Amino acid sequence: MKITMTEIVERALTGKPCSEREFDIKLSKRARELAKEYGVSSDPANPVPKDFGLANSVFKAGFQLFCELGAYCTSTNRIISFSEEEVRYALKYTPAEVWFGEGIDKKALIPRKPEDKRPPWCFLGAGGAPVSSEQILSILVENYAKIPQANSITTPALTRVRGVRISPGTPLEILGAIEAVRIAREAMRRAGRPGLPIMNLVATATTDSSLIAALNSEYGARPSDGVLVGILAELKTNFALLNKAFYAKSLGFRVAGELGPVYGGYAGGAEGTAIVTVAEHLMGLMVYQADWYLAFPVHAIYTANSSRELLWVRNVSAQAISLNTNLLSLYLSYIAAGPMTEMALYEIAAQISSVVVSGVSIEAVGVAKARYEDRMTPVEPKFAAEVAHASTRLNLQDVNELVRRLLPKYEDKLKNPPLGKKFQEICDIETGRVSREYLELLTKVKKELSDLGLPVE
Amino acid sequence: MREEEFFVELREAIIAGDVQRAKECAAKIVEEGIDPLKAIEEAVQPAARIVGEKFERLEIFLVDLIMAADAMKAATEILTSVIKAKRPLKPAGKVVIATVQGDVHDIGKNIVAALLVASGFEVYDLGVDVPALKIIEKAEEVGADVIALSALMTSTMRGQRDVIDMLKAMGIRDKYIVVVGGGATTAEWAREIGADGWAETAPEGVNLIRRLVEEKKGEKT
C-alpha cells in the first residue's frame, strides 16, 4: 500500500536518531564507495555519455544510497527510513502522466526516454530569479506566456512589495507571495493564455506559512499548478518543508521534489553528485509523495550548471532516471552569464540540447545564476525552448559533439562571467519589446548553432 | 627522525584528513622537544593552505575539507598545549558564522566554516535560521573579530541587513567586521546594507575575511 504523509511524519518523529554531521559524513563516504562499487566514472571529455550501462549503474548506486541512508529530518535529528520494497513499490505505481493547466493550455506531462523524438515539456521563465518590482514581474510573465512552446511558466521572485524589501516569516512575505500569484495570473490572461499553469508556486514564498497563504484560490492559485518543495542538501528535510508538501497535496496541487545536489559539497565529485541526484529523486517520491521532479545539480564554486563536470552529472543522471523509472523529471538550467551575452546563449544551448536528448524535460532559465535582480529577459527562455525542440532531431553522439564544440566558447569565463544587462536596459518596460541589438546577437548565435549541426528556428 | 620529516608527516596527515595520524604526529613532535610553534608554521599552516587551494580547484570536496580541518584542529590543540605554558598562540581571528533567520540552507556556510578552521580561525558556527540578536550575543560573548552571514534565498537576504541594523542600534557596529555571502547576495547588496565585504565563493570569502582581519589588526597597532 502507498505510504501516507502521516506515516512519513511518524517516521520523522520516531526514526533512528543521528547527528547531522554523522549523516553528512556517512553520505559522502557511501556515495564515494558506491561509485567505485558500481564502476561509475566520469568522463569530462564526453559530457554527454552514450553508455546506458553507465546510466543504469548510476541508478542502482543512487537507489542503494537512498535505501541505505534514508532521508534526514533536521527538525528531529532522526532518519526517515524506507525499505527497498517500499521504494520499488512506489516506483512501480508512480503515475506515468500528470496533467497541468486549464482550458486549451491543459496538458499532460509525460516521461521521456533518451533520444526521444517527442518534444520535452517546456517550463519557461525566470527560474525564480529575483525582480525588483511588481511591474517588471508582470511584463516578464506576460512575455513568457507569449512564447508558443511554453507549457508552463516559472515566475520570478519579488524582492520588494510596495517598495518594501520582503523579510521571511513576516506579513510582507505573505503579501509578496500573494501578489506574485495574482500579478502572474493577470499577466498570463493579458497574453491570451489564462489557463497556462504556473509550476513554481510560489517563488516569493520561502516559509511554509507564506506558501500556504498564497495557495488560497482567492488569489489565483489552482490545483493544476505546480508547487516546489525543496530537498535540503543532501537528502534532508524539515517540518516546514513537510508542511508545504502535506498542505499542497491535500489541496490537489502538483507537488515537485526540488533537488539541487552540490558538486563539491557532501555529494563529492561528479560521480557522487550524479548518484545523489538519483537518490534525491527517490527521496522526493517517498518523503514528499512528489508528482514530478525538478533537478538542478549545481557547482559549489561557479553556482551554475554549465561546466563540463556538471553537464556530465546532468546528462548521466537524466539518463539514469529516464531509463529506469517513469518519474516526471525536469532539469533546471542555471547559467553563469547574464542577458545579451553570447556566453549566456552558448550555455543555454549546451545545457538544454544535451539534457533533452538525455531523456528529460526542461525548466529554463536561471540567468546570471538567478542571483542578480532584473538580469533576465523573455529572450533566454524562448531561445531555450527553440533549442529544446530542435534538439529532438539529434542523437546522443551528435549532441556530445555539439557540446564539445560549445564548451571552449565559454568554459574559461565561468568563474568571472559577463553579467550582461538588466531587463530594463534591454527591453521596453511597458511592452517587453526586445532591443534590436539583442535580436541581432541572437541571430548570429543561431547561425553558429546551425553550422554546428543544430538548426534552431 | 629529523625535524623536517616530522613536519612532512604532519602535513600529509592533515591533507589526508587523518585525525588519528595527525594527533600521533603532533604528540611525537612534542615528545621529541621540537619547537611546536615552528611545527605550526611549517607543517600545520602550509597544510591548511594546500587544503584550501585543493578545494578551490575542487580536487577535494567538502567532506575532505571537514576531515582536514578536524585533523588540523586536533594537531594544533596538542602543539599549543605546550606553547601555552610559554606564550599563548593567538588564532588568526575569531569568527561567528550563521545562516540568517528564515533561511535553512547551510552547505555554503559549512564550506566557509571548514575553510576558516583550516586557515587557523576560531570559528563559532551557530547553524541555520539564526535570529539577529542571537548572532550578536554570541559575537559579544566570544569577543569575535568577524560576523559572517549567509543567505541563499532572495527572500531571506534581509536577515543580513537586520544584523547590521541591530549592531548599529546597539552602538557596536564598529566592533565587528561584518561580511555577507550566499546564493542570492551580490556586492551591490553588501554595499547597500553597509557590510564590510562580500564574496561570491567560499574560498574568496575566506581570503576576504583574512584580509579584513589583517587590515583591522594593522589599524590597531
Interval A61-73 mean pLDDT = 98
Q: What CA–CA distance (Å, rounded) separates A88 from B183?
A: 35
On the CB side of B82, CA atoms within 13 Å amount to 19
pLDDT band per the 50, 70, 90 thresholds, residue B184: confident
Q: Reduce the secondary structure of B74-122 to three states and give it as a string.
A: HHHHHHHHHHHHHCCCCCCCEEEEEEECCCCCCHHHHHHHHHHHHCCCE
Nearest CA in chain A to B185: A371
Q: What is the pLDDT of residue B85?
A: 64
The position carrying cell 506515468 is: A96
Nearest CA in chain A to B159: A167
Q: Kindly give the pairing relationship between strand A71-73 and strand A78-80.
A: antiparallel
| Cα maximum dimension of chain A | 61
Instruction: Determine the residue among B103, B154, B185, B198 to mutate to test chain A binding: the one whose Cβ has the most chain A Cβ atoms within 10 Å.
Output: B154
Chain B residues with CB under 8 Å of A157 CB are: 154-155
Chain B residues with CB under 8 Å of A301 CB are: 56, 58, 201-203
CB contact under 8 A, A372 and B186: yes
Is residue A404 within 8 A of residue A396, CB to CB? The reply is no
Cell (9 digits) for A180? 506574485
Taking only the tens place, the pLDDT of each residue in B50-91 is 998 899 889 999 999 899 989 998 998 898 887 766 665 677
Q: Which residues contact A246 (CB under 8 A, 6 or more apart)?
A: A5, A9
pLDDT band per the 50, 70, 90 thresholds, residue A207: confident
Residue B183 to chain A, least CA–CA distance (Å) = 6
Q: What CA–CA distance (Å, rounded) separates B44 from A416?
A: 31
Report angle CA B11, B12, B14 to the nearest 5 degrees: 65
Q: What is the pLDDT of residue B88?
A: 59
The residue count for chain B? 221
Residue A100 to chain B, least CA–CA distance (Å) = 27
Q: What is the pLDDT of residue A241?
A: 95
Looking at chain B, the domain(s) classified CATH 1.10.1240.10 span 3-86
Q: Which residues contact B82 (CB under 8 A, 6 or more apart)?
A: B30, B36
Instruction: Determine the residue among A32, A167, A178, A210 to mutate to test chain B binding: the one whose Cβ has the most chain B Cβ atoms within 10 Å.
Output: A167
Q: What is the pLDDT of residue B178?
A: 97
Which of B:31-90 have CB within 8 Å of A?
55-56, 58, 61-63, 66-67
Q: Phi-psi bin for A10: left (phi > 0), alpha (psi -120 to 50), beta?
A: alpha
Is residue A134 within 8 A of residue B68, CB to CB? The reply is no
CB contact under 8 A, B153 and A206: yes
Q: Which of A74, A207, A233 sits opposite B102 (nearest CB)?
A: A207
Q: What is the pLDDT of residue B221?
A: 59
Residue A78: pLDDT above 90? Answer: yes
Interval A394-420 mean pLDDT = 97
Residue B220: pLDDT above 90? Answer: no
Chain B residues with CB under 8 Å of A369 CB are: 183
pLDDT band per the 50, 70, 90 thresholds, residue A342: very high
Instruction: Determine the residue among B53, B61, B125 to mutate to test chain A binding: the one whose Cβ has the most chain A Cβ atoms within 10 Å.
Output: B61
CB contact under 8 A, B61 and A371: no
- Average the pLDDT over each of A23-27, A264-268, B108-112 and give the range with the smallest value: B108-112
Is residue A297 within 8 A of residue A234, CB to CB? The reply is no
Q: Which residues contact A355 (CB under 8 A, 6 or more apart)?
A: A314, A315, A318, A331, A333, A362
Which of A:269-288 have CB within 8 Å of B?
269, 272
Chain B residues with CB under 8 Å of A169 CB are: 101-102
Domain count across chain A: 1
DSSP calls for A10-31: HHHHHSEE--HHHHHHHHHHHH
B3-86 is a CATH 1.10.1240.10 domain = yes
Computed over every residue of chain A, the mean pLDDT equals 95
Q: Is residue A362 part of a domain?
A: yes
| B158 lies within 8 A of chain A by CB | yes
Residue B1: pLDDT above 80? Answer: no
Interval B178-193 mean pLDDT = 92
Chain B residues with CB under 8 Å of A200 CB are: none
Instruction: Determine the residue among A25, A75, A161, A165 to mutate to test chain B binding: the one whose Cβ has the most chain B Cβ atoms within 10 Å.
Output: A165
Interval B105-130 mean pLDDT = 89
CB contact under 8 A, B58 and A240: no
Q: What kind and span of H or E run contains A295?
A: strand A292-295
Is residue A428 within 8 A of residue A327, CB to CB? The reply is no
Nearest CA in chain A to B102: A168
CB contact under 8 A, B184 and A28: no
Higher-confidence position of A77 and B82: A77
Interval A244-263 mean pLDDT = 96
- Residue A314: alpha-carbon gap to chain centroid: 11
Q: Is residue A115 part of a domain?
A: yes
| B157 lies within 8 A of chain A by CB | yes
Cell (9 digits) for B139? 559575537
Q: What kind and span of H or E run contains B136?
A: helix B132-142
Interval A134-162 mean pLDDT = 94
Residue A208: pLDDT above 70? Answer: yes
Q: Phi-psi bin for A151: left (phi > 0), alpha (psi -120 to 50), beta?
A: alpha
Taking only the tens place, the pLDDT of each residue in A328-341 is 999 999 999 999 99
Chain B residues with CB under 8 Å of A179 CB are: none
Q: Tell me the CA distances in angstroms from A354 to A81, A106, A300, A317, A358, one per residue in order.
A: 34, 27, 21, 12, 6
Over its C-alpha atoms, chain B yields an Rg (Å, rounded) of: 18
Taking only the tens place, the pLDDT of each residue in B28-52 is 999 999 988 889 889 998 998 899 8
Q: Which architecture, in CATH terms, is B94-220?
A: 3-Layer(aba) Sandwich (3.40)
* CB atoms closer than 10 angstroms to residue A91: 17
Residue B210 to chain A, least CA–CA distance (Å) = 19
CB contact under 8 A, B104 and A238: yes
Domain residue limits at A249: 98-451
| B185 lies within 8 A of chain A by CB | yes
Is residue A170 within 8 A of residue A126, CB to CB? The reply is no
Residue B9 to chain A, least CA–CA distance (Å) = 24
Q: What is the pLDDT of residue B89?
A: 66
Higher-confidence position of B201 and A50: A50
| B182 lies within 8 A of chain A by CB | no
- Average the pLDDT over each of A111-125, A386-400, B33-47 and give the range with the smallest value: B33-47
Q: What is the pLDDT of residue B81?
A: 83
Taking only the tens place, the pLDDT of each residue in B88-97 is 567 789 999 9
In chain B, % of residues over pLDDT 70:
96
CB contact under 8 A, B184 and A204: no
Taking only the tens place, the pLDDT of each residue in A193-206 is 999 999 998 777 88
| B176 lies within 8 A of chain A by CB | no
Looking at chain B, the domain(s) classified CATH 3.40.50.280 span 94-220
Q: What is the pLDDT of residue A170?
A: 87
pLDDT band per the 50, 70, 90 thresholds, residue A168: confident
Residue A310: pLDDT above 90? Answer: yes
Interval A76-82 mean pLDDT = 98
Q: What CA–CA distance (Å, rounded) separates A280 from A272?
A: 12
In chain A, % of residues over pLDDT 70:
100
Q: What CA–CA distance (Å, rounded) separates B139 from B122?
A: 12
Q: Is residue A65 part of a domain?
A: no
User: Among A322, A260, A327, A325, which Cα is nearest to A289's?
Assistant: A327
Interval A202-215 mean pLDDT = 85
Is residue A71 within 8 A of residue A80, CB to CB? The reply is yes
Cell (9 digits) for A410? 565559454
Q: What is the ipTM of this complex?
A: 0.86
3-state secondary structure of B147: strand
In chain A, % of residues over pLDDT 90:
89
